[in-house]
Structure 1
């Protein structure tokens, strides 16, 4: 389990200096219906493609090992300017806990 403090002192790209920032995990975000991967998936679901929407995740990778962790979507908010930003490389962890 990865534990992250809620308040961190990090570089703010908008202020161009290190400031205190709050971190929050963004959840329940759906893809935009205009993105190509969303349209492709919807086309497969609508027209039928084997057992596509309910395929077995254990054999999804075709011989390769599936990762047991996922990339967590973190969002940092600067306490001085109030702007939010996301890191370019997301954190990979099975469980994430934000400490107060």
Structure 2
């Protein structure tokens, strides 16, 4: 299990210096229905494409197994300027917790 502290001292891109920042996990992000991948999926559902979209999810990755852990989206908020930003590298973990 990965645990990270609620407040960290990190680099803030807008302040251009190291400041205290709070961490929040971003959840329930919905993709825009006009994105290209959503339109492509909807086209397959409408036309019918084999067993799509009810295919076996274990067979999605060719030649390998699907990861049992997911990438966690983190959002850091600077306490000095109040601006939020997301890091480029996300944490991959099956169980994730933010310390209070």
Q: Does 1:95 align with 2:69?
A: no
1:78 aligns with 78
Write out aligned runs for 1:45-84 (5 A): 45-84=45-84
| SS of residue paired to 1:3 | strand
Gaps of 5+ in 1: none
Give 1:40's aligned residue: 40
80-89 vs 59-68, which deviates more?
A: 59-68
Shift of 1:62: 2.8
Q: Which stretches in structure 2 are left out of the alignment for 5+ residues?
A: none
Measured against aligned partners, the alpha-carbon deviations of 1:15-70 in whole angstroms (never above 9, x if no partner) come to: 00011111111111011122211111111122221221222111111331111111
In the alignment, which residue of structure 1 is the partner of 2:20? 20
SS at match of 1:80: coil
1:76 counterpart SS class: strand
| TM-score, normalised by the number of residues in structure 1 | 0.93
Q: What is the TM-score of this pair, normalised by structure 2?
A: 0.93
Which is further off, 26-35 or 76-85?
26-35
Aligned length: 100
Q: Distance in 2 between matches of 1:42 and 1:52?
A: 11
Superposed CA RMSD in Å reads 1.1
